[in-house]
Amino acid sequence: MAIFKGAGVAIVTPFHEDGSINYEKFAELVEEQIAGGTDAIIVCGTTGEASTLTHEEHLDLIRFCAEKVHGRVPVIAGTGSNCTKTAVYLSTEAEKYGVDGLLVVTPYYNKATQNGLYEHFKTIADAVKLPIILYNVPGRTGCNIMPETVVRLCTEVSNIVAIKEASGNIGQVVKLMALADGKVDLYSGNDNQVVPLMSLGGKGVISVLSNVAPRQMHDICQKFFDGDIEGSMKEQLRAIDLCNALFCEVNPIPVKTGLNLMGKEVGPLHMPLSQMEPANVERLKTAMQNYGIL
């Protein structure tokens, strides 16, 4: 059984002006997401700026999220690292907090071989009992986990069950699902490819767009699952301009800017991420207005 089905939000981490985590605001965002129909909350992922949190902040935010959600929807904790020992540490600690699954990114910078990736993920999985979603985003990590390696992991390691695919390579995803034989739960990691990946058997999306439009992204998935493929497709296409605007600068710069434009007051970004360029702010504002959320 899939960890979740539908639209999971890759939730932002709100900060105070001094860079500390704004837990009160985070709690508000969680409540708004659940009220908006979000099907799962993914905490401390790329969008949550996990790479610039200390280990203590990272784990405390996971704990806080799990306690706040309190079982209402699945909570999936990002616990990946380019250091296998660190990923094991974050994963085993997160498991203690009662999360429903882990999202583990391919190790960045090291550029491991496929055998190295297999050993990395297997070592993490062997240290916990939680189900694990692999996260493939070579544009950010410089590392691509190949379909054969994904299928091997999901076949040989019982608690590796899924992949968040953000390579953007539809051909690679097709090959993966052809090899998977039902052993791999697929989630889109790109908001502009949700319907195409669901047409290949995907279970939904781990979404940036859901931060600003939770109900709309949920509906894209639900319409598809209900058999309204045309309705799902139309909603996907209607969102394309906003999806593109949300990635006109590196994530999560635009989505945090968008939330602030909506009055959500999620605060600044952690360096080295910087404020959005004024021309891109206007592009984002126009896209949000045209989509009807601003």
CB 196 within 8 A of CB 219: no
SS3 86: helix
Report the alpha-carbon distance of residue 87 to residue 81 in Å, rounded.
5
User: Which of the 8 DSSP states describes residue 106?
Assistant: P
The reply to whether 122 belongs to the active site is no
Which residue in the list 5, 25, 135, 187 is annotated as catalytic?
135
Return the sign of the alpha-carbon dihedral for residues 201, 203, 207, 212: positive
Which residue in the list 5, 25, 68, 164 is annotated as catalytic?
164
Q: How far from 188 is each of 55, 61, 195, 268, CA to CA, in Å?
A: 27, 24, 9, 27
Report the alpha-carbon distance of residue 105 to residue 108 in Å, rounded.
8
Burial pattern 49-86, b for ≥16 Cβ within 10 A else e, equals: bbbbbeeebbbebbbbbbebbeeebbbbbbbbbbebee
Any idea which residues carry the catalytic annotation?
135, 164
